Chain A
Amino acid sequence: MKWRSILNALMGSLVAMIVTGKASAQMLINGAGATFPYPIYSKWFDEYAKVDPSVRFNYQSIGSGGGQKQILAQTVDFGASDGPMSDENLAKAPGKILHLPTVAGADVLTYNLPASPKLKFDGATIVDIFMGKITKWNDPKIQVQNPGEKLPNMDIVVAHRSDGSGTTYIWVDYLSSVSREWETKVGRGTSVQWPVGLGGKGNEGVAGQVKQLPGTVGYVELAYAKQNKLPYADVKNAAGKYIAPSIESITEALAAAKIPDDFRFSMVSPPGEKAYPIAGATWLLVYEQQKDAGKGKKLVEFLNWAITQGEGMTSALDYAPLPETVQKRVFERIKTIKY
C-alpha cells in the first residue's frame, strides 16, 4: 500500500512536470565548472527561480578545468573557473570570453599542535615549511613570531591537496608572490610538484591528515576550516600586519588588489593594511557575443541580479562578496554582452 502511494505520487509529479514544462516552456541555461563556488551558485539559482520563474539553471560542478574546456567547446552557456584562463586557452576560443568575478575565498594554514595555540606566520616562514627547509616546530623562525607560545620540539609534516584544485592555485600563487625561489622551482598551478609532504584528497583529506597526525600543517579553504572548527593561523600581509582570515579581511584584499580591465587578476599579497594575503576570486566565463538571443538576454538579467542582490547572500555561506567598487565595474562589463 505504502509503495503504491509513493509510486502514485511520483507518477503524478512526473505528469505535472511534463505538463507544466510544456505549458510554460521554461528556458534552461547550462553551466559547468568550479566546485569551490558551487554552494553559493546553487543558492543563487534557487533564489533566482523566485525572481524569474521562466528560467532554470543547470550547473555541473565538474572542476575549473572542465568549466574552461566546456565553454571553449561551447557545450555550455557559461563556464566557471577558480583561476583565470590562460592566454593560450583564450586564443582557442571562437569568440571573446569575458571573465566576471563573483565572490572570493581564502586559504588558511591549519595545524595540529598540543593545546592548539593561535599561531602567527609570515610568508617566508610558510614557504620554508612547504619547501622542507623548516622541519621542527621549535625552529627559531617560527618561535620568534610567536613569542608567547612554547613550541614543542616536534617534526613538521606537510599536508597538501592531491587533487587538482583552485584552493591549491591560491596557495601556490601566494607562495610564489612571496618567494622568488618558490616561483621558479615549483611555480603556480592547480597541481604542482610538491617539494615535501603528503597529499590528501579534497579539503576533507587534508583536514583529516592534519587532525590525526600531531605536528602536521596543511592548507584548506577558510569556509571549510570555519565550518569544521579547525585552528588556523594569522598571516603577515604585505603591509607587515598579522591578519586573521575572515570575510572582511578578504573583501579588504579584493578592494586593495590591482584589478586589470579584463578582470584576470591575482589578489594574493595585496598592499592593503587590513587585507588577508592568501585569497583568490572565482569567475564566471561568458561569451561577449551570445549565440542565442533569448538565452543571452536571460543570462544577462541573471548576472545583473547576481552581482547586485546575489552578493548580499554570500557571507552567510562564508564567501567574501565583491567590494562595491568592483561590483560596479563588473556591472558595467555585463552591459557589453551582446545578444
Chain B
Amino acid sequence: MTESSLSVGSHALSAKALAERRLGDRAFKWLTLLMALSVFVLIVLIGIELWLGSHLAIQKFGARFLTSSEWDPVKERFGALPFIFGTLVSSGVALFIAVPLSIASAVFLTELAPPWLRQPLIIFIELLAALPSVILGLWGIFVMVPWLREYLFPCLKSALGFLPLFQGPIYGVSVLAGGIIIAIMIVPIITSVSREILRSVPGLQREAAYALGATRWEVTRIAVLSYARKGLFGAVILGLGRALGETMAVTMVIGNRPEIAASLFAPGYTLASVVANEFTEATTDIYLHSLFEIGLVLLGVTIGVNALAQVLLKTFAGPIVTR
C-alpha cells in the first residue's frame, strides 16, 4: 500500500501514523485470534482434566465402560450405556417437541404478529429462559408429572399404544417427562436465536416473492425459511447442546433408573444427572473416576452429535442455501 493511496485530499498521513495504524490492526487481529483460540483451548483443557480424573476407570473397564449396562457402586462395576441412551433419547424427544414449536413461534413473531402482541410475547419467552432449572424441576414433580400421568400419557397410550414407544406401566416420571421438561427449557433459546436469524433475512427477499404473486405462507416458506435454513439449523444445534447437558430439572422427573427400555413411559437416566446425583457421596477412587469418565463421555457425545449435525447440514442443506 503506497502513501498516496491513503492520502485524503491535501492531508496525507505521515509514515509514523501509518505504522501505528498497522500495529493497531495487527494487534487487533492477534487479540481476536487469541480470544477465538481460548475457547478451543478451554475445551481441550476440560477434556484433558476429565481424562486425568478418569484414568483408573479407563484402565479398569476399557471399552466395556461404553457397552456395559451395569451401574453398581457397591460392587464397583460401572458402565455408561444406559446413561448415554437416556441422554440421547431425552434430548431427541426434546428436539422433536421444541423445534417445530420454537421455529413456528419465531416465524409468528417476525412475520405475522401485530406489533402490540410481539413485544409482550418476546418478553414472556425470554422470561422462560430465566427460570432456574431447579424451580422448573420442582414444578415438574408437583404439577407436570401428575398431569402427564393422569391425562396426557393415558391418551397417548390409548391412541398410539400399538407402538412400543407408548407401552408399559405409567408412573409419570419417565424419559418422556424428562424430554418434555428439556423441551420447555430449550424453547426460549431456539426461539430467540431463530427470531434474530429470521429478522436478518433481507426485506428484498420477501418483496421479490410477493412480486411473483406468492401468498403469505409461500413467502415465508420460500423466501424466508429456506433462505435462513442454515442459521435455523445452528439455532437447533445450540438448543441441542443445552439439552444434552441439562441436569437438575431432568433428574427430578426422569425417574433415575439406569435401564434401557423401548417405552418412553419407562424411567431412564442421563449422563449429567448421574454425575450430579452421585458425585458428592462417591468415596472410593474407582467410583469417582467412573463418574469423571461419565463426564468425559458426555463431552464426547456432545462433540459427536454436533459433528454429525454439521455433516448433515453439509449434505442436505448445502446446495439450497444462497448465502
A125 at the interface (CB under 8 A from B): no
Q: Which of B10-54 contact A (CB under 8 A)?
A: none
Q: Bound complex: CA of A64 vs CA of B278, how far in Å?
A: 11
Query: Is A198 a contact of B280 with CB atoms below 8 Å?
Result: no
Q: Which residues of A contact B70 (CB under 8 A)?
A: 193
Considering the complex, give the chain B residue whose CB is closest to the CB of A82: B281
Q: Which residues of B contact A194 (CB under 8 A)?
A: 257
A40 CB to closest chain B CB (Å) equals 19
A164 contact from B173, B267, B278, Cβ within 8 A:
B278
Considering the complex, give the chain B residue whose CB is closest to the CB of A160: B256
Query: Is B73 a contact of A198 with CB atoms below 8 Å?
Result: no
A198 contact from B72, B146, B256, B282, Cβ within 8 A:
B256
Q: Which of A197-243 contact B (CB under 8 A)?
A: 197-201, 204-205, 208-209, 212-213
B172 at the interface (CB under 8 A from A): yes
B251 at the interface (CB under 8 A from A): yes
Query: Is A199 a contact of B142 with CB atoms below 8 Å?
Result: no
Q: How many residues of B contact A (CB 8 A)?
A: 33
Q: Which residues of A contact B251 (CB under 8 A)?
A: 162, 201
Query: Is A69 a contact of B146 with CB atoms below 8 Å?
Result: no
- Which segment, of A41-49, A181-189, A264-272, A295-303, faces chain B? A181-189
Q: Which residues of A contact B277 (CB under 8 A)?
A: 162-164, 191, 199, 201
Q: Which of B262-305 contact A (CB under 8 A)?
A: 267, 269, 273, 276-284
Q: Which residues of B contact A212 (CB under 8 A)?
A: 141-142, 145-146, 149, 172
B291 CB to closest chain A CB (Å) equals 10
Q: Bound complex: CA of A187 vs CA of B256, how far in Å?
A: 19
A112 at the interface (CB under 8 A from B): no
Query: Is B280 a contact of A63 with CB atoms below 8 Å?
Result: yes
A68 at the interface (CB under 8 A from B): yes
A89 at the interface (CB under 8 A from B): yes
B73 CB to closest chain A CB (Å) equals 5
A323 at the interface (CB under 8 A from B): no
B73 contact from A69, A155, A192, Cβ within 8 A:
A192
Q: Map CB proximity to B onto A140-181 as digits: 1 under 8 Å, 0 otherwise.
A: 000000000000000101000011111000000000000000
B280 contact from A86, A164, A199, Cβ within 8 A:
A164
Query: Is A213 a contact of B149 with CB atoms below 8 Å?
Result: yes
Q: Which residues of B contact A246 (CB under 8 A)?
A: none
Q: Which of A63-78 contact B (CB under 8 A)?
A: 63-66, 68-69
Q: Bound complex: CA of A92 vs CA of B256, how far in Å?
A: 33
A211 CB to closest chain B CB (Å) equals 9
Q: Which residues of B contact A51 (CB under 8 A)?
A: none
B147 CB to closest chain A CB (Å) equals 10
B75 at the interface (CB under 8 A from A): yes
Query: Is B256 a contact of A162 with CB atoms below 8 Å?
Result: yes
- Chain A contact-residue range equals 35 or more
Q: Which residues of A contact B276 (CB under 8 A)?
A: 163
Q: Which residues of B contact A208 (CB under 8 A)?
A: 141-142
What is B's interface to A at a CB cutoff of 8 Å? 70-75, 138, 141-142, 145-146, 149, 169, 171-173, 251-252, 255-257, 267, 269, 273, 276-284
Query: Is B149 a contact of A89 with CB atoms below 8 Å?
Result: no
A69 contact from B142, B255, B283, Cβ within 8 A:
B283
What is A's interface to B at a CB cutoff of 8 Å? 62-66, 68-69, 85-86, 88-89, 155, 157, 162-166, 186-194, 197-201, 204-205, 208-209, 212-213
What are 8 A-to-B residue pairs whose CB atoms are below 8 Å? Answer: A64-B283, A65-B281, A162-B251, A190-B283, A199-B256, A200-B141, A200-B173, A204-B138
Q: Which residues of B contact A199 (CB under 8 A)?
A: 255-257, 267, 269, 277
| Contact A163 to B278, CB < 8 A, known contacts A193-B70, A201-B252 | yes
Q: Which residue among A62, A197, A199 has the maximum number of chain B CB atoms within 10 Å of its CB?
A: A199
Q: Bound complex: CA of A199 vs CA of B253, how far in Å?
A: 9
Q: Bound complex: CA of A213 vs CA of B142, how far in Å?
A: 11
Q: Bound complex: CA of A193 vs CA of B257, how far in Å?
A: 9
Q: Which residues of B contact A189 (CB under 8 A)?
A: 73-74
Considering the complex, give the chain A residue whose CB is closest to the CB of B267: A198
Query: Is B281 a contact of A193 with CB atoms below 8 Å?
Result: no
Q: Bound complex: CA of A162 vs CA of B173, how far in Å?
A: 13
Q: Which residue among B71, B75, B149, B256 has the maximum number of chain A CB atoms within 10 Å of its CB?
A: B256
| Contact A193 to B74, CB < 8 A, known contacts A209-B173, A213-B171, A213-B172 | yes
| Contact A88 to B257, CB < 8 A, known contacts A162-B251, A193-B72, A212-B145 | no
Query: Is A86 a contact of B283 with CB atoms below 8 Å?
Result: yes
Q: Bound complex: CA of A188 vs CA of B283, how far in Å?
A: 13
Q: Bound complex: CA of A15 vs CA of B281, how far in Å?
A: 39
Q: Which residues of B contact A204 (CB under 8 A)?
A: 138, 141
Considering the complex, give the chain A residue whose CB is closest to the CB of B134: A201
Q: Bound complex: CA of A272 vs CA of B20, how far in Å?
A: 88
Query: Is B280 a contact of A68 with CB atoms below 8 Å?
Result: no
A65 contact from B71, B172, B282, Cβ within 8 A:
B282
B140 CB to closest chain A CB (Å) equals 10
Q: Which residue among A157, A165, A205 has the maximum number of chain B CB atoms within 10 Å of its CB?
A: A205
Considering the complex, give the chain B residue whose CB is closest to the CB of A197: B257
